[in-house]
Amino acid sequence: MSRPSAVRHALGHAAVVAATGAALYPVLWVIKMALSPGQAFDPSPSPWPRVVSLQNFRDLWGLGGTGHLWRELGNSLIVAVATALVGLLSSATAAFAFSRLRFRGRQASLAFFLATQMFPGIMMAIPLYILLDDLRLLDSLTGLVLVYSTTSVPFCVWSLKGYLDTLPRELDEAARIDGATSWQIFWKVILPLARPALAVTALFAFLSAWNEYILAATFLGDARKYTLPVALQSYVGEYHTEWGHFAAGAIVVSIPVMLVFFALQKHLVAGLTAGGVKG
């Protein structure tokens, strides 16, 4: 290899190392805060803790402290899984209809679905609050799932429809000639082929519910119904912030997200349709 290209090689590596460091530094800082005993904010630039202690985690789980992390983790899981299920079940059929069937009002409904995505969630906070109050669904996880589904379903429909549009129409036609009804085409041909897209869509719906803070904080007054982001925020007080607890909580919140991501990762790899038609 000639010299200029070796230099360029080294420079490229240096750039990548620098970018990785910049991305990892804040994460290391959070880990350092979580592992340092006490709740003070340590302003030293070192990303390594001086003393390692698991006290902050113990406090969160309620071991000798006041935390209720089990309860909050459970609440968050219920809401996020339910949102993902509602999103997937109602959007898969809708996406199939939008992608494969031709009916009056198809374009208009699609545009309408898109329009609902154009408003920031916070704009709906007050109308939704009034609605939930009327439905006696304030302070309820069911209410929160309903709220999250209003935003996740349209997104899921669009994202799934986009994928279904890429599946060759000849597959539907072959199935129709084979005697399949629309439902059978959906269930036996399209759905199995849409698995990668279903995984991505479910992941999105799960994450959007898992991470959501503002609406949850607005609709949940009862501390026993708190989801993780709301509980985390409670460590940040007006006069005093429990940095150690906050950082430990942030780590706990991110672990399930990573687990879900790894679990679905193999489905995220496309290419399931390769070979059906010329390829």
Partner 1 sequence: MAEVELKGIRKELGGNAILRGIDLAVADGELLVLVGPSGCGKTTLLRLVAGLEELSGGEIWIGGRRVDALPPAERDVAMVFQSYALYPHMTVRENMAFGLTLKKLPRVEIDRRVEETAALLELGALLDRRPRQLSGGQRQRVAMGRAIVRRPQVFLFDEPLSNLDAALRHQVRLELGKLHRQLGSTMIYVTHDQVEAMTLADRMALLRAGELMQAGPPLELYEQPRNRFVGGFLGAPPMSFLAATARVDGAGGGRCRAEGRGFSLELPGSFELHDGREIWLGVRPEDLALAPVAPEGRLLRGSVDAVEILGWEAHVELRVGDGTVTARAEAARLGALRPGAPLSLEVRTEGLRIFERSAEGGGAEPALAAAGKGARAHVG
Residue 188 CB, nearest distance to partner 1 (Å)?
A: 8
The stretch near partner 1 (CB under 8 A) out of 5-13, 50-58, 185-193, 230-238 is: 185-193
> Is 73 in contact with 254 (CB distance < 8 Å)?
no
Residue 172 Cβ vs partner 1, minimum distance, rounded to whole Å: 9
- The nearer residue to partner 1, 138 or 185, going by C-beta atoms, is 185
In the complex, what is the shortest distance from the CB of residue 267 to partner 1, in angstroms, rounded to a whole number? 13
Closest CB to partner 1 among residues 12, 168:
168
Nearest residue (CB) to partner 1, 20 versus 181: 181
Scanning 121-129, 131-139, 188-196, 243-251 for contacts with partner 1 by CB under 8 A, the matching segment is: 188-196
Single out the residue of 174, 207, 217, 264 in contact with partner 1 (rule: CB under 8 A).
174
Could you say whether residue 237 binds partner 1 (CB under 8 A)? no
Decide: is 168 part of the binding site for partner 1 (CB under 8 A).
Answer: yes
**Rounded distance, CA 96 to CA 101, Å?**
8
Residue from 160, 193, 215, 250 touching partner 1 (CB under 8 A): that is 193
Q: Which stretch binds partner 1 (CB under 8 A): 64-72, 184-192, 221-229, 231-239?
A: 184-192
Interface segment toward partner 1; rule CB under 8 A; list 35-43, 57-65, 172-180, 222-230: 172-180
Interface residue with partner 1, options 171, 251, 257, 264 (CB under 8 A): 171
Nearer to partner 1, 133 or 170 (CB): 170
**Integer Cα distance of 33 and 247 in angstroms:** 6
Among 89, 162, 170, 213, binds partner 1 (CB under 8 A): 170
- In angstroms and rounded to an integer, the radius of gyration of the C-alpha atoms of the chain is 24
d(CA 261, CA 87): 17
Instruction: Confirm or reject binding of residue 92 to partner 1 (CB under 8 A).
Output: no
Burial class (CB in 10 A: 0-12, 13-18, 19+), 91: buried
Residues forming contacts to partner 1 in the complex (CB under 8 A) are: 168, 170-171, 173-180, 184, 188-189, 192-193, 272-279
